[in-house]
């Protein structure tokens, strides 16, 4: 089949890399893509801002399956546009993508269908929000309702911090319309894990649980980022807990969305808080995680394009999805200064050498080409990924590869997968 992938980050590089290995793929396109994908797919200079143009391209090129990476086009209705034209697409409708697009919708859905999550209140005014914080006390969590590029959540350790977050979201319009209402919720203790699942709206096939590292510095210090690394499988998610997550979270939410007339298909990402044998939902995302995808897909034994087409067409067969017994680790190399301002255009050295290493793949996240050289072009630059027989060996291989790579002011964490290693 002819497959088109949409997006340009590390997650999309991992999707393209895995789809390129699918026996059922004859031709692979990516729009707009990045330099890391150039040998794997034909890049198409279309932006994700014009959804009709993307659908025109898919029609002209007789694309059999389009795979959407990021959330924004999903929330804007790309799947609805493609399906109206009879084009198969992997990703939920705009209405179903509201599980990510509106935290208020997502929390109300969970409350209505008894899906475990933190106690919360949806607030439409600052007074209401502050009164709730006053009543509950700190620590407490303030969330902008709409999409805020992963920056709309403040975990406030004091009431003052919570008030400041409410001010900047509601009065300061920090996230525009996304902050017109906020969700205030109880602080949850525990360890987080990301459980992604393939679904066609009826059948759910969970992937291997992963854990990402949101803080920029070692020891989970410093500001939150899009993710500084990830590993899978995450041992915090025992087989028992994984089954519990399927039974109490994934199955009920897919059924709830269907019951609400918003059938969900694509990848559903459940961010979970695990405390002993208790599981609560932190958030849902309507897409693959970044950088979770970079560690989950290398462990997939199966034809990804066939699985995704099954999700799109409503005939997903769980027997198509098998998992390797190995482990994968991804270390993000970022531009110094990220998640705040950082320099771009720094030459990246060592890529050719690392390409020769066994069990290692470097996913590009923020790179471009200048004067024939690969240079930095974003906050997160590379996702250096390795597969090994266990987490420890994957960590070793990933960091050996990292040591061969460099660019000016490169920053990475030295402790990716520490929680898994500490358990041993």
Count, residues near ligand GLY per rule CB under 6 A? 7
- Identify which of residues 64 and 71 has a Cβ nearer to ligand AMP in the complex: 71
Which one of ligand GLY, ligand AMP, none interacts with residue 187, CB within 5 to 8 A by kind?
ligand AMP
Hey, which residues does 141 pair with through a beta bridge? 155, 185
Question: Per CB under 6 A, does 285 bind ligand GLY?
Answer: yes
Question: Per CB under 6 A, does 417 bind ligand AMP?
Answer: no
Question: Per CB under 6 A, does 115 bind ligand AMP?
Answer: no
Q: Which 147-166 positions form the footprint of ligand GLY (CB under 6 A)?
A: 150
Binds ligand AMP by CB under 6 A, chosen from 71, 98, 145, 185: 185
Hey, which residues does 143 pair with through a beta bridge? 153, 183
The phi and psi torsions of 405 (rounded to 5 degrees) equal -110, 145
Q: What is the DSSP letter of 414?
A: S
- Burial label for 60, CB within 10 Å (0-12, 13-18, 19+), is exposed
- What's the min distance (Å) between Cβ of 213 and ligand GLY? 9
Which one of ligand GLY, ligand AMP, none interacts with residue 289, CB within 5 to 8 A by kind?
ligand GLY
Hey, which residues does 341 pair with through a beta bridge? none
Which one of ligand GLY, ligand AMP, none interacts with residue 290, CB within 5 to 8 A by kind?
ligand GLY
- Identify which of residues 129 and 249 has a Cβ nearer to ligand GLY in the complex: 249
Question: Per CB under 6 A, does 402 bind ligand AMP?
Answer: no
The number of residues in the chain equals 424
In sequence order, which ranges of 209-272 are alpha helices (DSSP H)? 239-245, 251-259
Binds ligand GLY by CB under 6 A, chosen from 92, 206, 227, 379: 227
- What's the min distance (Å) between Cβ of 283 and ligand AMP? 4
DSSP 344-400: --PBPB-HHHHTTSTTEEEEESSEEEETTEEEE-SSEEEEEEEEESSHHHHHHHHHH
Q: Give the C-alpha separation, 303 to 287, whole Å.
A: 19
Closest CA to 332 of 374, 281, 297, 367: 367
**Position closest to ligand GLY via CB:** 289
Contacting residues toward ligand AMP, per CB under 6 A: 118, 141, 153, 155, 185-188, 192, 214, 271, 282-283
Residues at the site binding ligand GLY, with contacts judged by CB under 6 A: 150, 212, 227, 285, 289-290, 292
């Amino acid at each position: 089949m002819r497959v088109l992938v949409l997006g340009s980050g590390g997650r999309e590089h991992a999707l393209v890399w895995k789809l390129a290995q699918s026996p059922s793929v004859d031709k692979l396109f990516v729009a707009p893509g990045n330099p890391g994908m150039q040998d794997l797919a034909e890049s198409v200079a279309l932006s994700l801002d014009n959804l009709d143009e993307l659908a025109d391209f898919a029609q002209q090129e007789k694309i059999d399956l389009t795979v959407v990476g990021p959330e924004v086009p999903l929330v804007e209705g790309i799947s609805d546009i493609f399906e109206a034209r009879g084009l198969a697409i992997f990703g939920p409708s705009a209405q179903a993508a509201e599980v990510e697009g509106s935290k208020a919708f997502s929390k109300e859905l969970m409350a209505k269908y008894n899906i475990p999550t933190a106690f919360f209140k949806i607030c439409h005014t600052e007074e209401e929000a502050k009164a709730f914080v006053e009543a509950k006390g700190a620590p407490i969590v303030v969330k902008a309702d709409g999409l805020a590029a992963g920056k709309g959540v403040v975990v406030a350790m004091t009431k003052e911090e919570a008030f400041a977050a409410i001010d900047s979201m509601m009065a300061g319009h920090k996230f525009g319309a996304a902050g017109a209402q906020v969700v205030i919720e109880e602080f949850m203790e525990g360890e987080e894990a990301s459980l992604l699942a393939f679904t066609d709206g009826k059948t759910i096939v969970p992937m291997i649980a992963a854990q990402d590292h949101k803080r920029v510095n070692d020891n989970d210090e410093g500001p939150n980022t899009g993710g500084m690394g990830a590993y899978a499988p995450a041992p915090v998610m025992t087989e028992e807990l994984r089954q519990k997550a399927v039974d109490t979270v994934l199955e009920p939410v897919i059924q709830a969305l269907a019951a609400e007339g918003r059938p969900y298909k694509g990848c559903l990402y459940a961010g979970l808080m695990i405390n002993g044998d208790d599981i609560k939902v932190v958030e849902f995302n309507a897409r693959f995680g970044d950088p979770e995808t970079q560690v989950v897909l290398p462990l997939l034994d199966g034809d990804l394009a066939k699985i995704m087409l099954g999700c799109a067409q409503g005939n997903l067969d769980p027997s198509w999805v098998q998992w390797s017994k190995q482990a994968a680790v991804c270390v993000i190399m970022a531009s110094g200064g990220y998640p705040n301002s950082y320099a771009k255009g720094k030459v990246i050295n060592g890529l050719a050498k690392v390409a020769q290493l066994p069990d290692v793949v470097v996913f590009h996240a923020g790179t471009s080409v200048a004067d024939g050289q690969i240079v930095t072009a974003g906050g997160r630059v590379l996702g250096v990924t390795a597969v090994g027989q266990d987490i420890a060996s994957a960590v070793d291989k990933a960091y050996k590869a990292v040591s061969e790579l460099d660019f000016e002011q490169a920053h990475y964490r030295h402790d990716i997968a520490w929680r898994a290693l500490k358990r041993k």
